[in-house]
A and B are shown apart, each in its own frame.
Chain A
Amino acid sequence: MKTGIKNMKKEVRGQLITYGLVIGVFIIVQVMLSLGMISNLMQGLLVPLCTYSIVAVALNLCVGYLGELSLGHAGFMCVGAFSSAFFTKCTMTTGLNENVRFFLALLVGTLTAALFGYLIGIPVLRLRGDYLAIVTLAFGEIIKNVINVLYIGRDSAGFHFGMKDETSLGLGEDGEVLVNGAKGIMRTPHQSTFTIGVILLLISLFVCFQLVNSRSGRAIMAIRDNRIAAESVGIPITKYKLLAFTISAAIAGIGGVLYAHNLSTLTAQPANFGYNMSIMILVFVVLGGMGSFRGSVIAAVLLTMLPEILRGLADYRMLIYAIVLIAMMLFNWSPKLIEFRKKFIADVFKKKEKEAA
């Protein structure tokens, strides 16, 4: 048997190309960084690029493979960000090794987001289509709203919770406010680096690729393609929907952890965790191609960098995204266009056959 990239199974090859691409870009960036060829502005974008890529991969699992549109992924990102930042804030004074602490924070953020995904998924996944989209949006907004009125402090007596303001926490003299309502979590360490971002992106890609190319992945896609048929061959619908949704939420949570540890003050605003962010991520997913993790990463990177490169275009950026989004949806999904394309391809084949004959 021959080895080599050409004889590999298609799915394995696609996976390796994607990893190679990410690692390749990483190496190039590292070289350029060491040569001082990257502006400060661009350097500041490196971690967000990883964050958006990770969340886009997560959403693609939900939209492209499970076939359910979630408009609440910014909410899961928010959960991952705040739970991990809270953990870091709490353990900052314990003398825990920084790297161990970050690793634990990553676990906390991912698992909390997964838990939220699971709990929200149980009721939400019973709904279909448009209703599901709007309810995930609602959950995302609720998460953001609640975090904005959440106050948590700590003193020698332990933790204090409140929903009103700082003073209502009734902290002792040695007390410290950890989560300060709309002001968020302040003075957290910057621990997210480009290297960590790339590693987390690779892990997220690995989990998603391996999942969709396994027994569970096939079940998930079966539900997407035809729910009634999937039921008829004995696929437990709820179980696999919940599984995909939970994993997707967990990966969005990873993105949140990365995001939170790249800032000194973490707040929940419409711009970072509102549904506009969810829609931004959706744009990455659709433009990169639903069902293509590699596409999601490429779209997230290009669309985030483009306006920085083409300064003059910055004002028109969103408008262009919107137009491209609509055009792509029409091109890919319009029944008439699909039929036209099929006919066109069939005609081309016929011509070739004639020429051959």
Chain B
Amino acid sequence: MALLEVSNLSISFGGLRAVDNFSLNIEKNQLYGLIGPNGAGKTTVFNMLTGVYRPDEGIIRLDGQDLVGKKTIEINQAGIARTFQNIRLFGQQTVMDNVKIGLHNQYEYSTLTGILRLPKYHSMEKAMNEKAIDLLKVFELEDKADYLASNLPYGQQRKLEIARALATNPKLLLLDEPAAGMNPNETQELMDTIRFVRDNFDMTILLIEHDMRLVAGICEDLTVLNFGQVLAQGDTKTVLKNPEVIKAYLGE
């Protein structure tokens, strides 16, 4: 059974079919790419997968669990975490606290415990700090732990967003243009990091990306979206040679 099963997903905005009959299966531990020209509906797919939008039709299953109609919070708890195309960090909090907010549902203690600093507060905070530092190390952000998130350079903000998403302990990680705004060196580094996350966290990753070097370099399978419809689907090499795909990217 595939980890993520999506079938016949459709949504319209004001009569315009933004995504039409979208289907996708992702196996556990796969690195999967979702590509397509601007406005093809890629982020809309992410928004449906994470419950920001409710699809008009279709089925979304994660590990066999039906997700359509669930709220964003419930979907996160079911095991999907994401990053955003336009970075959404908690800018006025430290890098460390951003990750600790991601750990919110892993390490619980009550508000009263927190206010009164009961023993459980100390043990939980200690565990959270250790876990958060471990995650930051993966992204080489541990020496920036006390910085305000909004003061990080762009590339590191993108990394911090991934670290925060990972902190929620997901089964499936959705990355929305993780390499946007990065220079070639940073992109190369990011590719290594993504592979590392997949291997070491036993993670399944679905990513949207425009940088073809990254897509060709790390994605095993691809789905190409054009005008809301699936144009091609399959293993990366075959899909990228597909004349329809080349046409859609280069134009007539």
> Which residues of A does B touch, CB under 8 Å?
207, 210-211, 214-219, 221-222, 224-226, 228-237, 243, 291
Contacts and interface: CB of A to CB of B under 8 A. Distances in A.
A218 B102 contact: no
Contacts of B88: 226, 228-229, 232
A234 B111 contact: no
Among B88, B92, B104, B121, max chain A CB count under 10 A is at B104
B111 A216 contact: yes
Contacts of A233: 76, 81, 101-102, 104, 164-165, 167-168
B168 A234 contact: yes
Interface string B115-130: 1110001001100100
Contact of A230 (B81, B101, B128): B101
B50 interface: yes
Given A221-B93, A233-B101, A211 B107 contact: no
Name the residue in A219, A222, A226 with the highest tally of chain B Cβ atoms < 10 Å from its Cβ: A222
A215 B82 contact: no
30 contacts: A207-B115, A210-B116, A210-B117, A211-B114, A211-B115, A214-B111, A215-B100, A215-B107, A215-B125, A217-B114, A218-B93, A218-B97, A219-B104, A221-B92, A222-B93, A222-B101, A225-B93, A226-B89, A226-B91, A229-B88, A232-B50, A232-B76, A233-B81, A233-B101, A233-B102, A233-B164, A234-B104, A234-B105, A235-B104, A236-B73
Nearest to B124: A215
Nearest to A227: B88
Contact of A231 (B73, B93, B115, B124): B73
Given A207-B115, A210-B115, A211-B114, A226 B90 contact: yes
A66 to B, nearest CB: 13
B3 to A, nearest CB: 19
Nearest to A208: B115
B77 interface: yes
A235 B50 CA distance: 14
Contacts of B167: 233
B90 to A, nearest CB: 4
B147 interface: no
Top 6 nearest A-B pairs (CB, nearest first) are A214-B114, A234-B76, A229-B88, A225-B90, A231-B72, A216-B111
Contacts of A219: 101, 104
Nearest to A231: B72
B24 interface: no
Interface in B152-172: 164-165, 167-168
Q: Which of B88, B109, B117 has the most CB of A within 10 A?
A: B88
Given A214-B115, A216-B114, 6 more contacts: A217-B114, A218-B101, A225-B90, A234-B76, A234-B77, A234-B105
B201 to A, nearest CB: 16
A320 B108 CA distance: 47
Interface string B181-215: 00000000000000000000000000000000000
A232 B98 CA distance: 13
Nearest to A67: B92
Interface centre among B77, B82, B111, B125 (most CB of A within 10 A): B111
A214 B121 contact: yes
Nearest to B84: A229
A124 to B, nearest CB: 20
Nearest to B51: A231
B231 interface: no
A210 B90 contact: no
B114 A215 contact: yes
B52 interface: yes
B73 A235 contact: yes
Contacts of A234: 73, 76-77, 104-105, 168
A215 B109 contact: yes
A218 B100 contact: yes
A224 B102 CA distance: 15
Interface string B53-84: 00000000000000000011100110001101
Nearest to B91: A225
B115 A215 contact: no
Contacts of A207: 115
A45 B84 CA distance: 52
Q: A228, A235, A243: which has the most chain B beta carbons within 10 Å?
A: A235
Nearest to A247: B111
Interface centre among B50, B52, B114 (most CB of A within 10 A): B114
Contacts of B71: 231
B104 to A, nearest CB: 6
A242 to B, nearest CB: 11
A234 to B, nearest CB: 4
Contacts of A217: 114
Contacts of A229: 84, 88-90
Contacts of B104: 215, 218-219, 233-235
B72 to A, nearest CB: 4
A291 B97 CA distance: 16
Contacts of A225: 89-93
A266 B223 CA distance: 70
A206 to B, nearest CB: 8
A84 B228 CA distance: 62
